[in-house]
Amino acid sequence: MSKGKPSNPNGKFLLPSPEFADTNTGDRFKDVRRYFQDVVVAFGDDRQKIAEELTNFIYIYSDQYHWFNNNKRIKQAIRDDRKDWYRSVIDMAIKFRAIQKNQRGD
């Protein structure tokens, strides 16, 4: 049963940020795992809603990845770091979505 989204004032999930990763170098993906946990808690057994949220997340972060990939005005080191972080987060979301679907039996 869905418990509703843990949300910011706009009613959306609080998405992980690469800035969190910058300040938490010991565990760069802690914020990502918190987001995944929030999604599972919010949607409970509704695997379709979880998959939809994760697909939306993947689209958002893919856009960010491409923005950093195409933006030549940002220093190379920062651009490469952001691209690596976004690529890793997208991969994590794809794997997590697959696990959630498999638990449902799709």
Environment class of 69 (CB within 10 Å of its CB; exposed 0-12, middle 13-18, buried 19+): middle
Give yes or no for residue 106 having a pLDDT over 80: no
Please give the radius of gyration of the chain, using alpha carbons only, rounded to the nearest integer. 15
pLDDT in tens, 54-76: 999 999 999 999 999 999 999 99
**How many other CB atoms are there within 10 angstroms of residue 50's CB atom?**
23
What is the reported pTM?
Answer: 0.84
